Structure 1
Amino acid sequence: MSSRVTTSILAMLLWVAPLPALAQQCVAGFPETYGDLFADAQRALPDPKAMVDAIPRQPPAAIAAEYAQRRGEPGFDLRAFVEARFELPKPAGGGYRTDPDHDVVDHIDRLWQELERQPRPGDARSSLLPLPHPYIVPGGRYGEIYYWDSYFTMLGLAESGRQDLVRGMVDNFAALIDRYGHVPNGNRTYYLSRSQPPFFAPMVRLLADHDGPQVLARYLPQLEREYAFWMAGADSLAPGTAHRRVVRLDDGTVLNRYWDDCDTPRDESHIMDEATAAASSRPAAEVYRNLRAGAESGWDFSSRWLADGRSLHTIRTVEIVPPDLNSLVHALESTLSEAYRLSGRDERADALLARAQARADAIRRVLWNEELGAYADFLWRESRSTGQPTLATVYPLYFGIADEAQAARIATTLRERLLQPHGLATTAIRSGEQWDLPNGWAPLQWLAIRGLERYGERGLASEVARRWIRRNLQVFREQRKLVEKYDVTGAAAAGGGEYPLQDGFGWTNGVLRALMVLYPDAADAR
């Protein structure tokens, strides 16, 4: 099969016969399927992503041929042409209206119903990958699941008494691993070439906290395959080289990076990626690969990935060994060790425990920046830290990797460099990208708060939680909604990046719902 597969054919194949080998191929095919119509329609529609989520009402080849024939006609209306020939997506949860008598807890608990999606058969016309169990989508332009989003959504679902959805979503991710060998960025065909921060192990642990430790053993096969995906090629790597998501440093240390198996524009952001590559003096394929790897990181995009700290065309994600990803792989190794132990496979349990301990040592040794007082991204080819403070430094706190002295230094750095009136900023740089100052994001607030609590830094943890809760509730009182991200400086609504601020919003709902249980006196929910 060609490495470029049209979406309609691919969707049919993925439904009828799972093809794990496709995970290592560049499978997006919208530009080839629709020709000039694809990029032209992305420019004409309010959101370029709508074109890859749309369902054609006629065979794609026929639509493309008709467009080629009619586009030059006097008065031709491209927007009307697209709307007549495609079923365009509607914003997830866009029809929901909050009852003015409901407090924010009521709002969240009822909004889950609007964001819940039921399993349905695959549609060969659609880019959506079918899932076997009900699930929650983030909201707005995001009408599919997202990998790391879902962990933070599950935190709130558990507090809302929706353990059925927590269990079903873990089973969905297990099914994706079984089918494709990894969890895609989201359940769309155009996301198959990359993953996202690997939160499957923490999801399984979250479920085990409710259902009992044997849950770890139940998901052992999927934990093994997830680990194999992230570590593919590690055993044969020479020092100072990398393969896909694995890097072996000059001293032999093995750590991970973000990657994507494609070096073409992202279909959902095709026109933006082409413009970014055109602004660079590097080969376009190199820019595309790094943009895609940045999307796998979940921080799409941030100054942490940019060589000059400002310009997206300088993106260099694959050159960076990040503390957040490596903390997650450490958590996966630790969880695998426990799952093997519960399954009576003590030799494998010992081996994975040793790997987890070695990775923790490497994180403390390689990624700790003493001058900065934080964990920082590491440029593996140059053997040096970027020296940039980012909220990725809280991952080694959340997963218990940092030592006590490092935790105290991180708390000081957070307070001095990233703490803002309404929570923690993602970085200290204003680049115009959405994962930079002035924006704050719910998942990173949660990781910081719980990580600080884990190391006894309860004063700062409480301060961050209270500032974040107050900002969420202030916006809710004023606008009767929760949103994807917030300006933690208090200057304006959050912005930046490739698309407008989204309502909904899965992980904001989940984190706020969980934080208000931990900090019930932080603000009056009503």
Structure 2
Amino acid sequence: MPRFLVSLVLVLAVAAQAQTKDITTYIHHTWDTLTRSTTQCNAVSDSKVAEKPIVYLPAGMAIPADLAKMQKQCGVEVEHLPRRITHIAEVMPDELPRTGVLYLPHPYVVPGGRFNEMYGWDSYFIILGLLHDGRDDLARGMAENFFFEIENYGALLNANRTYYLTRSQPPLLAEIIRELMASKNPPDRAWLEHAYTTATKDYALWKSPEHRAGNTGLARYKDFGSGPVPEMADDDNYYRDVIRWMQEHRRAAMEYLVHSDPHPDAAEKSRLRKISCDVDKSSVCARATLAGSRLTKAFFDGDRAMRESGFDTSFRFGPFSGSTQQYAPVCLNSLLYRYEMDMSDFAQTLGKTNEAAEWMHRAERRKSAMQLYLWNARRKRFVDYNFVTHKQSDYHYVTEFYPLWAGWTSPEQAKATMLNLGDYERKGGLAMSLHRSGMQWDEPFGWAPTNYFAIAGMRRYGFNTEANRIAKKFMHTIESNYAREDTIREKYNVEAGTSEVQVTAGYKANVAGFGWTNGVYLRLKSWLAQGDSLKTQDKP
């Protein structure tokens, strides 16, 4: 090779190394930028709701000294929830005089700059990054915040705001516990005992009647509230945009619309409470109307369930995912299978052999049900199942790689799934779906969590070449955009390999920060450094 080419290659290699070092330094410092506490004056405000900040404590809990100090310094109100909560939705958001933040005892990392809450599934990927960077205490504190939520607010919540008291998020607590126990400075046996007991309560939520997917033996997403979500108070357009689309596509959306008088009288309001929402009780409901149409109660149930899934918004479960509550999703049930396997391991470690066997039995039962309902032998792919219509979905979604991550698929099914990789692989990583709905969780957008689960699943089944290729593509997207913008984003247009996103309805921002992208980037970087080696728990 000519000398000038050798020099050029060396220069480019040094530049690439410097860029990687620069981005990891950025991530390392960003953990502090994104750290919040419910005892900080600037961390209790809510950009989504224009009300004076208020912090809610569990019923009967003494006001902690640091919170009392903040109360005096900042003029923040501190109130107690009206009664003790043992199960989700025992206190409903509309019972409280105002929305507010729910107290947590430890600092936590938020997803991005506009957020002040600790989110459910975001925190799993954030914790991956914290452990990589040696921030074990912060990671453990976040896990203990989840324990506090389960013990005092009835569930691991979507986030620690009062309007989230009716729903959870994808169940990843057992994986968080596993990651902490596998870290360089693992917690002791007593901590694991407490974690195991609390995770058992968390798991019970997903076995509740409300979360059962009919008679399939599988689970579904389900919010315990009704009507439009209160956190949309800052967005007058979303539900109107939904109605407008449905009016223009009536054949696909008739079931989601009801006719309504724009100025309802008492009788009309009473009717709307039964078939849509309560216009007197909810300002969001009052505004959710367009040209004589409103959304049905069933649509709002699906809308809420979609938000529990974390995939808000896509067209995966009908237009705007308005039928989410009717599906047993591949992703959720794969997460629960892994949860059951993790809990079996924890029980074994703690000497609870009978409980370990029962957890294993639960996992095997779920695996059998998933093989029956979620595998399409003709199309040779994993699909979601509508237990109301008794039909499998034909909406292909990147979550079909979750079974590989969870380890419940056969080697033959894993090979068949890999033949579908080209449906999602793009210049900058894996896209969410094959459908251009204009929503942020569809084509052409790609996200850190789904790229992570797919890559981890490929590694688990030995498809290391493909896993490394996708990892490099997604990391390059993050790195190249970081070089232009000096920040890391929530999501990317993986078709173009850029952070420029055009979302037509719903959450349209592309927030900087960004917690789960940071954590996944560090985990992928670590995997690439390992080459093709796999940890024992990564093998099927």
TM-score normalized by the length of structure 2: 0.71
SS across alignment from 1:395 = helix
Residue 162 (1) aligns with residue 171 (2): no
1:301 maps to a residue whose letter is T
8 Å CA contact retained: 1:266, 1:273: no
| CA-to-aligned-CA distance 1:34-73 (integer Å, 9 cap, x gap) | xxxxxxxxxxxxxxxxxxxxxxxxxxxxxxxxxxxxxxxx
Residue 430 (1) aligns with residue 430 (2): no
* Cα distance, 1:328 vs structure 2: 1.3
Give the whole-Å Cα distance in 1 for the aligned partners of 2:332 and 2:188: 25
Q: 1:167 to 1:367 in 2, by over 3 A?
A: same
Give the whole-Å Cα distance in 1 for the aligned partners of 2:340 and 2:514: 31
SS across alignment from 2:213 = strand
* Cα distance, 1:365 vs structure 2: 2.2
| CA-to-aligned-CA distance 1:1-40 (integer Å, 9 cap, x gap) | xxxxxxxxxxxxxxxxxxxxxxxxxxxxxxxxxxxxxxxx
2:313 aligned residue (301, 306, 314): 301
2:164 maps to a residue whose letter is Y
* Cα distance, 1:298 vs structure 2: 0.3
8 Å CA contact retained: 1:184, 1:194: yes
Q: 1:393 to 1:478 in 2, by over 3 A?
A: same
Percent identity, please: 33
Give the whole-Å Cα distance in 2 for the aligned partners of 1:102 and 1:119: 33
2:302 aligned residue (290, 305, 309): 290
Match of 2:201 in 1: 225
Give the whole-Å Cα distance in 2 for the aligned partners of 1:178 and 1:397: 32
Match of 1:67 in 2: none
1:247 aligned residue (213, 222, 225): 213
1:410 aligned residue (399, 405, 417): 417
* Cα distance, 1:520 vs structure 2: 4.3
Give the whole-Å Cα distance in 1 for the aligned partners of 2:208 and 2:497: 45
Match of 2:27 in 1: 108
SS across alignment from 1:504 = coil
Give the whole-Å Cα distance in 2 for the aligned partners of 1:227 and 1:102: 40
* Cα distance, 1:500 vs structure 2: 1.4
Give the whole-Å Cα distance in 2 for the aligned partners of 1:341 and 1:457: 30
Q: 1:248 to 1:474 in 2, by over 3 A?
A: same
8 Å CA contact retained: 2:406, 2:457: yes
8 Å CA contact retained: 1:326, 1:363: yes
8 Å CA contact retained: 1:395, 1:451: yes
1:499 aligned residue (496, 504, 508): 508
Q: Return structure 1 stretches of 4+ with deviation > 4 angstroms.
A: 99-102
| CA-to-aligned-CA distance 1:254-297 (integer Å, 9 cap, x gap) | 11000111111111114346423685425422111111100000
1:174 aligned residue (147, 150, 171): 147
Q: 1:213 to 1:362 in 2, by over 3 A?
A: farther
Q: 1:468 to 1:521 in 2, by over 3 A?
A: farther
Match of 2:226 in 1: 263
Match of 2:426 in 1: 420
Q: 1:248 to 1:159 in 2, by over 3 A?
A: same
Give the whole-Å Cα distance in 2 for the aligned partners of 1:362 and 1:486: 34
8 Å CA contact retained: 2:382, 2:400: yes
Give the whole-Å Cα distance in 2 for the aligned partners of 1:110 and 1:248: 47
Number of aligned residues: 405
* Cα distance, 1:220 vs structure 2: 1.7
Match of 2:454 in 1: 448
For structure 1, which segment, 273-282 or 379-388, has the greater mean C-alpha deviation from structure 2 after superposition?
Answer: 273-282
Give the whole-Å Cα distance in 2 for the aligned partners of 1:364 and 1:484: 33
SS across alignment from 1:387 = coil
User: Equivalences for 1:87-486 in 2 at 5 Å?
Assistant: 103-120=22-39, 121=67, 123-124=78-79, 127-210=100-183, 211=186, 214=189, 216-233=192-209, 244-249=210-215, 253-270=216-233, 271-272=236-237, 274-275=239-240, 276=242, 279=246, 280-281=256-257, 283=275, 284-306=296-318, 311-312=319-320, 315-414=322-421, 416-486=422-492
8 Å CA contact retained: 1:372, 1:389: no
Give the whole-Å Cα distance in 1 for the aligned partners of 2:21 and 2:472: 21
SS across alignment from 1:123 = strand
Q: 1:213 to 1:304 in 2, by over 3 A?
A: farther
